[in-house]
Amino acid sequence: MSDWKQIAPASWLIPQTAKMRVPGLLIASDRQLKEENLEKPLEQVRNVATLPGIVGYSIAMPDMHWGYGFPIGGVAAMDLQEGVISPGGVGYDINCGVRLALAHLPFRTLSAATKKQLLEKIFQRIPSGTGMGRKDRVLEESDYLAITRQGVRFSIEKGIGLPEDLERIESFGFLEGADLQAVSSDAKLRGRAQLGTIGSGNHFVEIGEVEKIFLPDIAERWQVEEGQTYILIHTGSRGFGHQICQDFLDEFLRKGFAKDLVDKQLVAVPIQSPEGKAYWAAMALAAHFAFNNRQEILHNVRSAFAEVCSLGKEEIPLLYDVCHNIAKIETHSVAGTPKKVCVHRKGATRAFGPEHPELAPLFQKTGQPVLVPGDMGRASHLMAGVGNPLTWCSCCHGAGRARSRVESMKHWKGRKLEDYMQNRDVLVKAHSWKTIAEEMPDAYKDVDLVVDAVEEASLARKVARLRPHLVLKG
């Protein structure tokens, strides 16, 4: 750290060394710098800085940890003509993301029996776990073609959700350039029964209470109230996106695109090359799949609330849906000139500020909602984007892991996990002990510290703190 330079609050410049084409930029509080071991993920930050065509900085968010090639919590922008696109910079779970809906129902009015019944209904309606699919819904070729052309409208126009959901989804649930021909038959086969499923690992459906409001003016605009019931959904493109990532990694490695790179996991191709265009086309389609996946899950959660709580679907409006494993073509200021760049966000969230032209009217005066899940025992956060150009208008995506899944399982082996969580007023439902053990609260950093660093760095502002009570884990 002796040669680091603080260039803004909670913003540290990591100087160029060896093959780095740009400096690194770390967003972190003083406390995080003192308490966390940053050596391994910062090695990946330096590695990303060596990629051709990178502009600005190789950036790490305060929730960063070791990932495939890129650190999770990593952001990198590439020049469209000279730069590259990297599957490792998007991640295996393409368009893994989060959506937040707010029920017109005080959480305290739910009885213990109602909470248990609600969680059970959601568990029955939404398949969860490794490889789990749906028996009642299988996608055909015509469905994939429609998803390619329509994005999330594929679901909404079938009555899966509400028409007003569309303006509450990042990029309105659609990326230009999707092409089914770029996707392998293996990917389509893996995704056939997985629309409307949460998968495994850290994916979840979480229901709880809006615990505290920090910015009343923004909360009022977004119709967020203290004590209100919220629904948070975290999942992505399932086996469909995973297979797409693997297919292109294998192809790019086979064709020698990792030659001369400091880490073959960074394997990348020129954005304008045939291979780059094919990856973009497949990635965009996987993003569409993920948008529809979260749309169907929210639809089934709304149905469960209707059945158990007699709450109409229109009484559970969607607030927002954000991506945090994606590459996007966006216009940003590069050396003082507006320029289109390809922004990789891997475990990082877009955080456009007020008056950004891509935002829907509801968010023009407030900035974009930023959703930051924490862990199932402490809290999650709702924030408002500031639009900081230093990070390409990007923010953290969650708390970030503090302990590996293997370490967490060893730590909690032989203990009654569900009882432990219930003593913290959290009901947890999952298919296996293993899933719960991997996802216990202490496996994650303290999300309050993470969002404090984000706010200190002026990437986003805290709007509300959310307290989980009912959790369905993959």
Confidence of residue 405 (pLDDT cuts 50, 70, 90): confident
| Helix (H), strand (E) at residue 190 | helix 185-191
| pLDDT of 129 over the 80 cut | no
Does pLDDT of 1 surpass 80? no
Q: Taking Cα atoms as reference points, which of 69, 58, 55 lies closest to residue 342? A: 55
pLDDT tops 90 at residue 410: no
What is the tens place of the pLDDT at every residue in 238-296? Answer: 999 999 999 999 999 999 999 999 999 999 999 999 999 999 999 999 999 999 999 99
Pick the more confident residue, 208 or 435.
208
pLDDT digits (tens, 9 = 90+) for 450-474: 999 999 999 999 999 999 999 998 7
pLDDT tier for residue 79 given thresholds of 50, 70 and 90: very high
- Considering only residues 411 and 330, tell me which one the structure prediction assigns the higher pLDDT: 330
What is the per-residue pLDDT for 132? 75
| pLDDT at residue 127 in the model | 87
CATH number at residue 61: 3.90.1860.10
Q: How far is CA 70 from CA 200, 241, 283, 452, in A?
A: 22, 17, 17, 24
Question: For the residues 358-373, what does the mean pLDDT come to?
Answer: 97
**Residue of 397, 411, 431, 469 marked catalytic:** 397
The model carries a pTM of: 0.96
Q: Please count the structural domains in the chain.
A: 1
Range of the domain at 469: 5-473
For residue range 321-361, what is the model confidence (pLDDT) as tens digits?
A: 999 999 999 999 998 999 999 999 999 999 999 999 999 99
- Helices 274-309 and 238-254 pack at an angle, to 10 degrees, of 170
pLDDT of 94 > 90? The answer is: yes
134 pLDDT band (50/70/90 cuts)?
Answer: confident
pLDDT at 304 over 90: yes
Render the burial of 248-275: b for 16+ CB within 10 Å, e for the rest.
bbebbeeeebbeebbbebbbbbbbeeeb
Confidence of residue 415 (pLDDT cuts 50, 70, 90): confident
**Does residue 2 register a pLDDT over 80?**
no
Q: Which of the four pLDDT bands, split at 50, 70 and 90, describes residue 86?
A: very high
Confidence at residue 188, expressed as pLDDT on a 0 to 100 scale:
98
Comparing CA positions, the residue from 77, 32, 72 lying closest to residue 396 is 72
- Mean of the per-residue pLDDT values of the chain: 95
The residues, any chain, with a CB within 8 Å of residue 22's CB and separated by 6 or more, are: 16, 49, 54, 55, 56, 57, 58
pLDDT at 102: 98
Contacts of 320 (CB under 8 A, 6+ apart): 99, 100, 168, 169, 170, 363, 368, 369, 371
What confidence score (pLDDT) does residue 366 get? 98
What dihedral do alpha carbons 304, 193, 87, 176 form, nearest 10°?
Answer: -80
**469 tagged catalytic:** no
pLDDT band at 441; cut points 50, 70, 90: confident
pLDDT at 74: 97
Angstrom distance (rounded) from CA 180 to CA 420 = 46
